[in-house]
Structure 1
Amino acid sequence: MPTPRTLLALPVSLAFLCLSTAASQAGPAPDTNALVRLLVTQGKAPAAALLAHASTGVATAPTGTDHPRAGTDDARAGTDDARAGSDYALGTTEYTQAGTGISRADHFRAGSITKTFIATVILQLAAEHRLSLSDTVERHLPGLVHGAGNDGRALTLRSLLTHTSGLYDFTAVTGGTVPVTPTQAVRMAVTHPPADRGRFSYSNTNYVLLGLVIRQVTGDSYATEAERRIIAPLRLTGTSFPGSRTTLPSPHGRAYAADGSDVTDLDPRVAGAAGELVTTLADLDRFYSALLGGQLLPPRRLREMLDTRTAHGSYGMGLFPVKLPCGTTVWGHNGRISGSYVRTAATVDGRHVLTFRVNTGEIADPGLEPALLAAEFCPRTS
């Protein structure tokens, strides 16, 4: 079974998911501010930023309905420290940045963090009995997945959500640099034999297919459904699905490739439902806090999202766990797209969450990410 570290071999230019395990550390965890600075000096990023929030309020009670409404009318929209829910403002918020040309309010590309939004919409549709996770891909997208040993009749929506379908990753063909339609992406993938079904094998093709399923079931695009079900209710005012728009909304900084070239402008169709999202630090903190706090899914569906048994411990549904050296497990996702690397992690109740980003696709020292998570989530020792 591929380990999270194995996934680091995905194409550098658009490896939307790059899971890393926390390295063991002796002694007290270093300070997060110092580690953010190291993302620039040691990680070789032009600039880096982190926004973390720890709630001390009483969490909003999870909904048990089949169509939960995210957010409440007393949310403080438009502020970095607000959450759609009365408890988000009750806590401490920390912002740190290093390097130049990056700011707290910047919009940036979030890569594979898009997958958490897509998985949430699919699970909401399941809660509404509009689809079942046991449905075959063929049922919703007849005739699309076939050839070279691929068979949509043998694949379920659950296998797409958990990356256990075996489908080939279309970005291995495009290098993550060629804009394609969802159908083109799938057709590229199914010209290659699948990996073993039932084993965890990360593939962006899975979430492109889930985006198509959302349209087939609802009649609307995944972007429209995510806007209606997640972005608008949570008042994520800096979050959008840009479609084919190559520019970032204002304000934004610049994004750089590993060779230093400016890659701020990018056609998001290189990623589609696997990595199209544009967002902000505050919006990602708010989203993951609301999701894990039970505001977007009924308890049963949230438990399914966090269940990693299908993927043998590597992945849930649009989320993955990392166990830190102190024993704490954090949940979240990361994303890498040309000019941007982003990571969000949170405690399982959503009460403590952080998002950090760099304005390039690579961090030269891979040990900095697990060290930063440990510094934020592990208690200090004297």
Structure 2
Amino acid sequence: MQSASEPRTRTVLGALLASAVAGALLATPAAAQPHRPGSPLTPSAAPAAPAPATGTGTGTEAGTRAATATGAGTRPGAAARAAIQRALDDIARSGTPGVLATLDDRGSRWTGEAGVADLRTGRERQARDHFRIGSITKSYVATVILQLEAEGVLDLDDTVERWLPGVVTGNGHDGSAITVRQLLNHTSGVKSYTDDPTHLHNFFGAGFLKHRYDDYRPADLVRIAMRYAPDFAPGTSWYYSNTNYVLAGMIIEKATGNSFEHEVDHRLLRPLGLRNTVTPRSTVTMPRPAGRGYAMFEPGGPVHDVTELNATFTWAAGDMISTTGDTGRFLRALITGRLLPPAQQKELTTAVAADPAVVEDGAYALGIYPRTLSCGVKVWGHTGGTTGSGSEAFITADGKRSLVTNVNGNWGGPAPDPVEAAFCTP
């Protein structure tokens, strides 16, 4: 995804929102969009939002709702919590229905929220709310591939053709010239299926209401990409392509003989105890608890509840569902080396030059990327935007402090980025 990439985050909203709308669909800090809960939905406009409420983290402050703090040790610094909460309040005031953030500092967890999870009932967002994590899914996919390399099952320098013969071909695409590594760091040149105008219309535009329950196979998504010429010869440039991670998911299945969902569950979710993280495949409802997800398909247009959808239109490029707590735990295990041997850990964080208009530092590694904040602190992570949900997940290289955020609407005005508040405030 590049032409609408998520990775950039100047204003959380602008970034979080822009991604889905632009078709980035799961890349990075971009687009904020709705996520979905569980009961069937009608594609009708949602009611007007109540006046945005503001919240705060444990230890209430005047005029705010109390959030929660858990974990042993000293709670994250009061200044950081207050700065994050101000950012959340500003996001809600800018028009986004609701926003949630969890800060973990050396094992002490604090969750703040603002706005609402449900425009109809006014229910507040909760620390345990599930939401669609979009392109943060890519971090899980890259981890499984790296584990398979460590086991000798495959090699990052294997060609795509070796594992998926005849799949990447046509209009100049050549799977025999593309490596697994190039899929993971977006240097393959393979066209992103989410750039297809029809796909954009059906899943990020007005066509969503008609097509939200359409079911896709991974090969269907790849075939969309093969209708177009590659963006460049493999290894000669960089472009954020969601097709890369659909292909990576297909390689996981071919190499293991198991489904992508099984491998993620067996290798990552169960060992880490991530009971609130799921790979939904074609399940359209959300695990509970969950708020609603909302979208406008044109500026100033009606607000639609887009909670329910069939995420096979993203699959391994961004279909996973999680919570702020689970996402933070996964990111910490990944960055601190609990999931990969040293050689693969080094591969994980080996970055190539990328488009700075898409990822802020102009660098992208394997399913994660570095971001240097205004205060000079460097964090690692990914962002994700899909219809009805926009998320950010970042952590310091030593794993001591992480922040995971989610917004449940794809509109709103400029607002501060909680990531800056979390890592640039003591």
CA contact (8 A) 1:241 1:277 kept: yes
CA contact (8 A) 1:11 1:172 kept: no
- Structure 2 counterparts to residues 195-234 of structure 1, below 5 A: 195-196=231-232, 197-198=234-235, 199-234=237-272
Quote the residue 2:399 is aligned against. Answer: 350
Q: 2:421 aligns with which of 350, 375, 380?
A: 375
In structure 2, distance between residues paired with 1:168 and 1:46: 34
Structure 1 residues 40 and 304: CA distance shift in structure 2, 3 A: same
Give the aligned residue type for 2:239.
S
- Structure 2 counterparts to residues 127-146 of structure 1, below 5 A: 127-146=150-169
Quote the residue 1:95 is aligned against. Answer: 111
Quote the residue 1:185 is aligned against. Answer: 221
Residues 187-244 of structure 1, C-alpha deviation per residue, up to 9 Å, x if partnerless? 1101101112321100100000000000000000111000000000000010001110
Give the aligned residue type for 1:219.
G
For residue 182 of structure 2, give the secondary structure of its aligned residue in structure 1: helix
Quote the residue 2:325 is aligned against. Answer: 282
CA contact (8 A) 1:164 1:310 kept: no
Give the aligned residue type for 1:247.
T
Identity %: 38
Give the aligned residue type for 2:314.
A
Structure 1 residues 324 and 14: CA distance shift in structure 2, 3 A: closer
Quote the residue 1:15 is aligned against. Answer: 25
Give the aligned residue type for 2:102.
L
In structure 2, distance between residues paired with 1:169 and 1:107: 27
CA contact (8 A) 1:254 1:359 kept: yes
User: Given the two structures, how large is their TM-score scaled by the length of structure 2?
Assistant: 0.74
Structure 1 residues 165 and 362: CA distance shift in structure 2, 3 A: farther
CA contact (8 A) 2:286 2:308 kept: yes
CA contact (8 A) 1:162 1:310 kept: no
Please report how far the alpha carbon of residue 378 of structure 1 lies from its aligned counterpart in structure 2 after TM superposition: 1.5
In structure 1, distance between residues paired with 2:245 and 2:411: 23
Residue 377 of structure 2 corresponds to residue 332 of structure 1: no
- Structure 2 counterparts to residues 105-184 of structure 1, below 5 A: 105-173=128-196, 174-175=199-200, 176=203, 177=208, 179-184=215-220
Q: 1:49 aligns with which of 86, 94, 100?
A: 100
Q: 2:89 aligns with which of 31, 37, 43?
A: 37
Please report how far the alpha carbon of residue 10 of structure 1 lies from its aligned counterpart in structure 2 after TM superposition: 6.8
Structure 1 residues 222 and 310: CA distance shift in structure 2, 3 A: farther
Residue 286 of structure 2 corresponds to residue 241 of structure 1: no
Structure 1 residues 363 and 292: CA distance shift in structure 2, 3 A: farther
In structure 1, distance between residues paired with 2:142 and 2:189: 18
- Structure 2 counterparts to residues 228-307 of structure 1, below 5 A: 228-258=266-296, 259-307=302-350
Structure 1 residues 310 and 303: CA distance shift in structure 2, 3 A: farther
For residue 405 of structure 2, give the secondary structure of its aligned residue in structure 1: strand
Unaligned stretches of 5+ residues in structure 2: 10-14, 31-78, 118-124, 297-301, 356-361
Moved more, 28-37 or 106-115: 28-37
Unaligned stretches of 5+ residues in structure 1: 21-27, 56-90
CA contact (8 A) 1:342 1:357 kept: yes
Residue 217 of structure 2 corresponds to residue 194 of structure 1: no
Please report how far the alpha carbon of residue 46 of structure 1 lies from its aligned counterpart in structure 2 after TM superposition: 0.2
For residue 165 of structure 1, give the secondary structure of its aligned residue in structure 2: coil
Please report how far the alpha carbon of residue 320 of structure 1 lies from its aligned counterpart in structure 2 after TM superposition: 1.0
Please report how far the alpha carbon of residue 14 of structure 1 lies from its aligned counterpart in structure 2 after TM superposition: 5.7
In structure 2, distance between residues paired with 1:340 and 1:216: 30
User: Given the two structures, how large is their TM-score scaled by the length of structure 1?
Assistant: 0.82
Deviation >6 Å, runs of 4+: none
In structure 1, distance between residues paired with 2:425 and 2:283: 43
